[in-house]
Structure 1
Amino acid sequence: MDTTRNAVLEAWMTEHAYSSNSLADAVNLAVERLTGRPGGLDGSSIRGWKAGRVTWPKSATRKALEDISGLTAIALGFVPRGRVLSTPAPPQQQEDPDMKRRTLVGGIAAAAATVAVPGTSSPRRIGMSDVDRLQKRFAELIASDHRHGGQLGIEQRAAALANEALNLQNTHSATERVRSSLYASAAAFRSSAMWAAIDGRRFDDAKVHMREAQALAEMSGDQAIKFRIWSHAGTMYRHMGRPAEAIAANDVARNLRITRRDPLFACLGHARQAATYGLTGDNMAVRRALGCARDAFDHADQSLSRPMWMTAARDGAEFETLALAAHLRLGNFEQAETHAHRSLTLLRPQMQRDRAINTTRLAAAQLGQGDVELAIVTAMKVPSDVATQHARVTRMLQDFGAALRTTASSRTLVETWTEHAAVRGITA
C-alpha cells in the first residue's frame, strides 16, 4: 500500500496552528453540524491522514474538513480512490525549513485554484476588493440586526454569507493575506448568525454557529472577531442561566491580546462580565467589574478605527446597557434606572432593538421602586412591531406583566396593562 505522506495537509495544519487532536475536534464538531451526530475522529485518525494511510476520508468527514479549511479535499492533498498518488521529490538535506513551509503553503493555494476551476490554467485571483465587498454586506447585516435583531431571516442570511466567503476560498486563487481576511469575514458572518440565534432564544442553533465561528476565527488569526465570538458565547450562557460557563467564556475574551492593546475591548469585556456577575448576585463583583470597565473606557483612544459592531461600545451606550442589566438583576433598581436613562440617551436612533430592550428594563426598574403608573407608561412606549416580533423583548414584557400582577395594589392599573398587552399580542 502506498503511504506517501500528505505534506500538503501537514503544511496547512502547521499554517493554521492545528495539532492532530485539535483538528480532530474541529472536524467532529463540523460533522455534527452536517449530520446531527458528532464525528468519531481522534488524534490518531488525523495522523493517519498525514502519514498517507488514509488517502480519501469518508464523505461526511471530507465535507466537514472542506467546510473548516475552505479548500477541497484534493487541494488538501487527498487523492480520490482509483487515482494514482504521485510521489513528490525528496527535499535536499540542507533545505531551509521556512522555505519548505512557504513552498508547501503556496502549493495549497495553487492546488485549490486548479481543482476549483477544472480545465483552466489561470483562475480568477481574488483580492482585498472582494473582501471589502463582503465587509459592505456585513455592514448591512449589522444595520439589520440593530433594527430588528433575533430574526430567523437575519440568522439564515448571515450563515449564507459565511458560506459565500468560504466558497471564494474554494474557487479562486488568493494571497495568504486575502485568505486570512476571507476566513475573518466568514467568522464575522457566522458570529452574526450566532448572535441572531441568541437574540431569538434559539440556543441550540446558536451553539452550532458558535463552534463554526470559533474554527473560522482560529484560521483567520483575527483577534477582534475572536473577542466577538467569545463575548457572544458569554452572553449566550448568561441568557441560558448558566453563569459559570458565561464567566469562563467572558474570561477567554478578556484575556485575548486585543484587550491589552485597545482599552475599549477591555471595557466591553469587563462590562459583559459585570452583567454575568449580576446573575450570581455578587454585588461587589459587579461594582468591581463596572469600575474596571469605566477606567478602561476613559483610557480608550476614540480616534482608533474599530469594527462596526463596536459602535455602541465606542459611544458608551453598551457600558450603560450592561450596567443596567447587572444592577437590575441585583435588585439595585435606582442605579438601574440611572443607567437606563443614560443608555437611552446614548443609543443611536437606528438601534431599535436595543432601545426596546432598555425601555423594558427601565419599566422594570421603575416598577421595582414602586412607581407602578410610571412603569406602565414606560412599558407602553415599546413599539408594537418590536414587542411582537422580537423574542427577547416579548419575553421581557411578559415578565414585566407577571411582576406587575404580583406587586401592584391597583387593580385598575393592572387591567390597563393587561388590556394593552392583549392588543399587542404579548400576553403570557
Structure 2
Amino acid sequence: MASSTVPPPRPDRPPRPNLAFRRLRGQRSPAEFAALVRRAAREIGEQVSCDARYVGRVEAGEIRCPNYAYERVFLHMYPGRTLTDLGFAPRASVRGRGARDAEDTPRAHATSPACATGDAPGASETPGAHEPYDTQNPYDTHHDHEESDVLRRAFMTRGGATVAAASLGPLGLAHDASAADRPPHRAGASEAGALEEAVRRIRLLDDRHGADGLYRRAAAPLRAAYALLDAGATRQATADRLHSGAGELAISVGWLAHDSGRFDDARSHYAEALATARMTGDQALEAHAFCNMAFLARDAGRPREAVRAAQAAQRVARPLGSPRLMSLLALREAGGWAGLADRTGCEQALAQAHALYGRGSTDADPEWMTFYGEAELAGLEAQCWSTLGDWPRAARHAGRAANLQDPHFSRNIALYTAELADDLARWGHPDEAAAAGMRVLDLLDQVQSSRIQTMLAGTARVLLPHRRAGGVSTFLERHASSPRMA
C-alpha cells in the first residue's frame, strides 16, 4: 500500500465543479454511478477503486484530470467523447504539479505513463489492491459503506430478495451479526440439521433469484456455523456433520460472492471450505471446493489455474464413484482449456464429460449437484465454444440449454439466454440476439446476478452498430433504462 505521507495537493485556485460529469450521473446516486464505473472497468480488464467519494470529488472539481486507468474506463463508458467533453482539464495542463490527489493516481504496482512523469503514487487505494492475486484479477472488489446501503435497500425492496430475507431467518442459525458473535452451547443434532437446511435454502433461493441480493444475508449464517465448530459438538458424528455442513455453506456463500462479482471474497470462502475438507479428510467436500475454485479461476482470467484445479478435483473425486460429478469436473477442465485457446484439450475434455454423463445418475451423486442436468451440460459447453470464438456452435448449445432448463432454475434460464443473446450478436444475427436479450430483461425482475447483467451489457455494446435492425433499438432502449444492481 502506498505511503500515507504524500502531501495533499495545493491548488493555485479553488476547484471548479465538473458540471458535465454531474450531468452524466443523472438520477443515480454517487454510489450507484461508482458501481457502473467499476462494472465498465471490469469489461475492459481494468481495475479501479471507484466509490461514492471519488465521484463526489470529480464532480466538485477536486480531480481535474483522471489517471490513465480511469481515463480508459470513462472513454469506454462514453465512446466518441474526449476527456474535455466529460468536463476534465487537458492532461498537459495538470502534468508536473507534484503530488496528485490520492484518488487521482495509478495503482502503485502497475507500470503506467503517469508514473514516468513524476505523478505521485496514490495514498488511499483499496486495501489489498497491491496483493499479487489482485493484480491478476480483472474484477475490482471494492465496497464502501454507501454501496452496502444501496445493496441492502435493493435486497429489501425487490420481491424475490424479500422472500430470501424471510427464508434465512428461522433456521436455528443466527442471521444477525450480534447473535453470530455470541458463544454458542455445544452443538447437537438439531444444530447440525439447521446448518444443513441453511445450505439447501441458500441454494434454492440462488436458483430462483440469483446471488446479488443473497450474499450479505448468507454471510451471517456462515459465521454462526463456524462459531458452532469452535464450540464443539456432543458427539463425533455430529462434529463430522457440522464440519461438512460448514464447508458446504462456505462454498455456497463463496458462489454467491462469485456470481455477484466479488471474486476476492469468493476465493477466500472456497479456500476456507478446502481447508475444512482437508482437516477432516472429507473427499466429497474437497472435490466440491476444487470444482468451484476451477470455475472461479476461469472467470477471473486464470485459465491454467482452472485446468489444474479441475484436475485436482478429479483426482480427489474419482474414488467417490459418481460419474455425474466426474462429468462436471471434466467440463470445468474444458473451460480452462478453452481459456488457454487449446481447442484440442477442450474437445477432449468435452468428450469425456459427455461420456461420463451418459453413464447416468447414481446414489453416489452429491446432493449439491441437483442443478447439473442436460441443460447445464449444454450451457457449460456453450461457454467453451464462445471462449474459443465458435459463435454458431456456442449459440446452438446455449439455445438448447435455455430450452431444456427446468423452470424452477430462473437464474440459469436467464444465464443461458444471456449467453445465447451474446453468441447470436457476435455471430451476426442482431434481430435474434435482441429478442433473446428481451427475454433476459423480462427475467431480471426476479433474478439478481451481476454476471448476467455484465453479459447483457456486452451484448448491448455489440448490437450498437445494428441499432436500426428490427427489434434492436427496442432492446437497447429498454436495456439502457433498466435498473442495475450496485
The two structures have a TM-score, normalised by structure 1, of 0.65
Instruction: Tell me what 2:210 maps to.
Output: 149
Separation in 2, partners of 1:412, 1:308: 45
Task: Identify if the C-alpha distance between structure 1 residues 390 and 409 changes in structure 2 by more than 3 Å, giving closer, same or farther.
Answer: closer
Deviations 1:133-176 (A, max 9, x none): 3212211110011122222x523343322332333334454222
Q: What's 2:410 paired with?
A: 352
- Tell me the CA shift for residue 289 of structure 1: 0.7
One-letter identity of the residue aligned with 2:480? A
How far residue 412 of structure 1 moved from its aligned partner, in angstroms, is 6.4
Distance between the aligned counterparts of 1:333 and 1:419, measured in 2? 25
Separation (CA, whole Å) in 2 of partners of 1:355 and 1:385: 8
Tell me the distance in 2 between the aligned counterparts of 1:217 and 1:389: 30
1:77-127 Cα offsets, whole Å, 9 max, x none, are xxxxxxxxxxxxxxxxxxxxxxxxxxxxxxxxxxxxxxx89xxxxx86623
Superposition pairs of residues 151-300 of structure 1, within 5 angstroms: 151=212, 153-171=213-231, 173-258=233-318, 261-300=321-360
Residue by residue over 1:399-423, the C-alpha shift from the partner in whole angstroms, topping out at 9 and shown as x without a partner, is 10111225x3846655333212122
Query: CA, structure 1 residues 215+415, in 2 after alignment: closer, same or farther (shift >3 Å)?
Result: same
State the distance in 2 between where 1:231 and 1:297 align: 16
Where in structure 2 are there 5+ consecutive unaligned residues?
1-126, 130-182
Q: Is the 8 A contact 2:392 2:427 kept in 1?
A: yes
**Structure 2 match to 1:338:** 396
One of 427, 438, 452 as aligned partner of 1:393: 452
Q: Quick one: distance in 2 between partners of 1:162 and 1:418?
A: 40
> Of residues 178, 189, 194 in structure 2, which corresponds to 1:133?
194
Counterpart of 2:384 in structure 1: which amino acid? A
Residue correspondences, number: 305
**CA deviation map 1:54-74 (0-9, x unaligned):** xxxxxxxxxxxxxxxxxxxxx
Deviations 1:20-76 (A, max 9, x none): xxxxxxxxxxxxxxx989xxxxxxxxxxxxxxxxxxxxxxxxxxxxxxxxxxxxxxx
Q: Output the CA distance in 1 between the equivalents of 2:270 and 2:233.
A: 28
Greater helix proportion: 1
How far has the Cα of 1:303 moved from its partner? 4.1
Q: Which moved more, 1:286-295 or 1:131-140?
A: 131-140
Distance of 1:324 and 1:410 partners within structure 2: 28
Unaligned runs of 5+ in 1: 1-34, 38-115, 118-122
Contact kept, 8 Å, 1:223 with 1:258, in 2: the verdict is no
Cα gap change, 1:162 to 1:349, in 2 (>3 Å): same
2:477 is matched with which residue? 419
Matched residue, 2:108: none
SS for the counterpart of 1:306 is coil
For 1:361, the equivalent position in structure 2 comes to 419
1:232-287, Cα deviation, whole Å (9 max, x unpaired)? 11111111111112222212112114466211111000011112222222222221
Q: State the alpha-carbon separation in 2 of the partners of residues 242 and 184 from structure 1.
A: 28
Moved more, 159-168 or 275-284: 159-168
Kindly name which structure, 1 or 2, has the bigger radius of gyration based on alpha carbons.
1
Q: Contact 1:250 / 1:272 at 8 angstroms: preserved in 2?
A: yes
One-letter amino acid of the counterpart of residue 126, structure 1 = G
CA distance in 2, matches of 1:321, 1:138: 24
TM-score by length of 2: 0.58
Taking only aligned residues, the RMSD between alpha carbons, in angstroms, comes to 2.7
